[in-house]
Amino acid sequence: MILITGGAGFIGANFVREWFARGDEGAVVLDKLTYAGNMANLADVRQKPDLHFVHADICDRTAVQQVLAAQRPRAIVHFAAESHVDRSIHGPAQFLQTNFIGTFELLEAAREHWSSLPAGERDAFRFLHVSTDEVYGSLDEADPAFCETTPYAPNSPYAASKAGSDHLVRAWHHTYGLPTLITNCSNNYGPYQFPEKLIPLMILNAIEGKPLPVYGDGRNVRDWLYVTDHCAAIQRVLENGRIGQTYNIGGNCERRNIDVVRAICAALSAQRPKPGGYESQIQFVKDRPGHDRRYAIDAGKLASELGWRPSETFESALAKTVRWYLDHTDWVAGVRDGRYRKWIELNYGDGAPKPA
């Protein structure tokens, strides 16, 4: 049995699904069920007898302690986080509360649980903290990719909150001996991603005939990682990673934002053609504050130590992602509530962004 925090969110739900697809070990999902986490993300695995769901907040140490005492997991995989840069700019307090204070509360509950285990179980226990490449800041075009020893230089409230949580996890290992692992991943995409993020937002706006808003000049670069590849990497680190180590997870796939949007248009044209295609819907909008220019991940440590490499190319995974959103309109409708529409208006105006 393992405990998965944030297991009803985008990456967490995909991890739960992959966990059961790859083995027969049970899991407890603990999730607060905020706007981006909902039970619909787990619909196809919800009835498994060895999947247990707990509706709770990681900031509630008592609730976490009760789960740990009742279920006695051999590991904690910590996904739970506020995770969108734009939202952190408009409301940083919640990011600090969940990402920093929540991780602290979880670490303290985990330390108490770990200390109470018999020697053999204590030696086998792991606390795996899932983080982001954004803690490293921004790269210039010619800079080498982020590696595990790159100095932290977060540039947004979101990145700062995740950097702080990474430091807590490291400190709890070095101070208390808690057997921790940290992974820092590049931009994820794939099924069940909340449609505030670039790829699902562009897919859905395109098929609905809405503008495709691209920040600034569209030349910001991200390293794109398909979510199931990310999940496979996390499982590899959980089982074989060296205690106290950090492993960067990337897709070996740097793309400019404008090129990603054009690739989405091309994939849509192949699967749902329309006269004139979709690129005419692209509109450049005012850049967001503190927009990092480039992220890139060097995942060489993960490859050399643990033998992991992504199995998907950007083209193959993007085609799967487009197909998934075209085939799951009911899921999309279910998550686009009033809070989502308010967020779109806050970031992109009245739904009709104008060229910068």
Tokens at 260, concatenated: 């990603």
Tell me whether residue 133 is one of the annotated catalytic residues: yes
Give backbone dihedrals phi and psi of 199, rounded to 5 degrees, phi first.
Answer: -65, -50
Residues with Cβ within 8 Å of 318's Cβ and at least 6 positions away in sequence, in order, are 189, 199, 263, 264, 267
Tokens at 7, concatenated: 């297991």
Q: Is 131 within 8 Å of 168 (Cβ atoms)?
A: no
Measured at the CA of 137, the angle between CA 136 and CA 143, to 5 degrees, comes to 90
Beta bridge partners of 30: 5, 54
Indicate which residue of 105, 134, 196, 223 is catalytic: 134
Indicate which residue of 18, 105, 133, 223 is catalytic: 133
Indicate which residue of 18, 105, 136, 158 is catalytic: 158
Cα(216)–Cα(230) distance, integer angstroms: 28
Crossing angle for the helix pair 314-327 and 198-207, nearest 10 degrees? Answer: 50
Residue spans of beta strands (DSSP E) within 98-179: 126-132
- Maximum CA extent, the chain: 66
Residues with Cβ within 8 Å of 267's Cβ and at least 6 positions away in sequence, in order, are 318, 319, 322
Tokens at 22, concatenated: 């790859």
Cα(269)–Cα(210) distance, integer angstroms: 15
Neighbours of 115 (CB within 10 A): 12
Neighbours of 289 (CB within 10 A): 10
Q: Is 356 within 8 Å of 218 (Cβ atoms)?
A: no
- Walk across the sheet containing 221-226 and list its strands: 187-189, 221-226, 254-256
Residue 345: alpha-carbon gap to chain centroid: 23
Tokens at 148, concatenated: 């595990």
Q: Mind telling me the catalytic residues?
A: 133-134, 158
